[in-house]
Amino acid sequence: MEQLPQYRKLYEQLRKHITNGVYRKGDILPSENELCNVNGVTRPTVRKALDLLANEGFITKHQGLGSVVNKIPKGIGILSIKGTTSAVGSENLSTKVIVKPKVMQWPENFPFPLTETELESGCIYFERLRLVDGEPFFYDITYIPNINLPRFTSYKLDNVSLFDTLREHFKLEIKGGKQHFKAVMPSKNIQDQLAIKDNQPIIQLQRKLSTNRLNFNFYSELFCNTEVYALSGGF
Amino acid sequence: MEQLPQYRKLYEQLRKHITNGVYRKGDILPSENELCNVNGVTRPTVRKALDLLANEGFITKHQGLGSVVNKIPKGIGILSIKGTTSAVGSENLSTKVIVKPKVMQWPENFPFPLTETELESGCIYFERLRLVDGEPFFYDITYIPNINLPRFTSYKLDNVSLFDTLREHFKLEIKGGKQHFKAVMPSKNIQDQLAIKDNQPIIQLQRKLSTNRLNFNFYSELFCNTEVYALSGGF
DNA sequence: AAAATCAACTTGTATATACAAGTAGAATGT
DNA sequence: ACATTCTACTTGTATATACAAGTTGATTTT
């Protein structure tokens, strides 16, 4: 894999330390100066890594005191820029591909406007069931424009981070996106897949993710059963 | 009001330009170098302002091209660090205080853990109905620890940004927070307040917001009718 | 013993500079 | 007319430096 920028390497290291329990809620991270010395980088680089952690809710910075580790949310931290696999420890979350990736036309009445290029190229479509502690938690339908992604349909996606796959094989990085939340009653199919009891509402989350490739976005639609676990995130 | 840092002034100016339509979706903002020259600041300062805009979904930065303005979501951008009043134009959103601020004990089974200091001091509690284009959209119940907020209960909160009030009168800035989303069926009271038809689920959003004051967080619980407008945000 | 002050840390804000990597349009070559 | 190359922009990454503002604990003063 290609070289990551130093601020990102530090960010991932600290993030892993937090999710692995090296630092726990209430702990104070090493100071910015200490992180400089230990990692051989300068303060703006350290601060950029810490800013990412703060943006995602892992830490809270306090002027004069330090960077305090927050409690990692028990729910699925789905609002961060990272995908779900890295938001919780991968031992809690597993993925089952229900509909394998296939190339098809975009569905009618797609919730996001599509460019002409996207429309013409069709999309790679697949459905995944995500389980937390073995229980179905959300159902994820993904649409990726079928543009310059050779042999994507042959990649295995069970228990694999889609974002990692996109990064490693296609040099695609998620840069941001937007998302819409709605509370809905589930369709029969979703009710079956998520094992939802009658009259239990679910959250429908529609996301458009932008990437480092210009004019290349992809889309996902998730249905989440929030009866046991809330959807959560920091900001 | 006290002096804002330069990066924040630029951020608010650009944000206002975007929400006011000076820049529209698809437009490219002036380059970083141009913003430096025009505003008499340096590139890291400009980049910090642009980073905030990018984090909140207002723009997408593209290396080599520029900063492209995104469409402002039609829904209520409630996931950003700013309060709801500044997420949409204030002409679309109005606020009606249903239960005026009063000091009381924390409710039982509060969804976030509370410190001993918070428990002892009680909380300032109030309820507001938020309307978009005159239609009830969400119901906001707020709990603020009753610590060092003299005469808070005398402040008017109708059609006023709570965050602005906290900033101007008490020097409290929102630094971040966490939030949990659930899909629920509304209680009778919420159904009445939000004019929700039968069997229509809603989103329950519980938020804990951290501030610049150490160990001072406040909390809100929102119920949103997402039938017409989705809850949306950028990231 | 309590209050005030001080020192040494912390993060926050900002400037200055340099080079890498990506994009678009102009210029040149075939 | 089309392809290739070049130029001049853009944002991305990173170092270096300085001072402001906040926090904590030690020290000094009362």
Q: How do the domains of chain B map onto residue ranges?
A: 6-69, 76-232
Reported ipTM: the value is 0.68
Q: Would you state the pLDDT for residue B191?
A: 92
A77 Cβ under 8 Å from any chain B Cβ = no
A79 Cβ under 8 Å from any chain B Cβ = yes
Residue B71 CA to residue B163 CA, distance in Å, equals 24
> Higher-confidence residue: A35 or A179?
A35
Name the minimum distance, in Å, from the CA of A210 to any CA of chain B.
8
pLDDT at A136 over 90: no
Chain B residue numbers with beta carbons less than 8 Å from the beta carbon of A176 are 54-55, 57, 60, 234-235
B3, closest nucleotide (Cα–C1'): C13
DSSP string covering A48-72, please?
Answer: HHHHHHHHTTSEEEETTTEEEEPPP
> Higher-confidence residue: A228 or A70?
A70
A85 φ, ψ to 5°?
A: -60, -35
pLDDT confidence tier of residue A233, bands split at 50, 70 and 90 = low
Name the minimum distance, in Å, from the CA of B154 to any CA of chain A.
30
Amino acid A154 CA to nucleotide C22 C1' distance, rounded Å: 30
Question: Does the nearest atom of strand C lie within 7 Å of B44's Cβ?
Answer: yes
Quick one: fold of B6-69? Arc Repressor Mutant, subunit A (1.10.10)
- Per-10-residue mean pLDDT, chain B, length 235: 82 88 91 93 95 87 91 52 46 82 88 79 89 83 85 81 75 72 92 90 87 78 85 67
Q: Does domain A76-232 have CATH number 3.40.1410.10?
A: yes
- For chain B positions 192-221, those within 8 Å of chain A (CB to CB) are 199, 201-203, 206, 210, 212, 214
> Count of CB contacts below 8 A, A vs B?
121
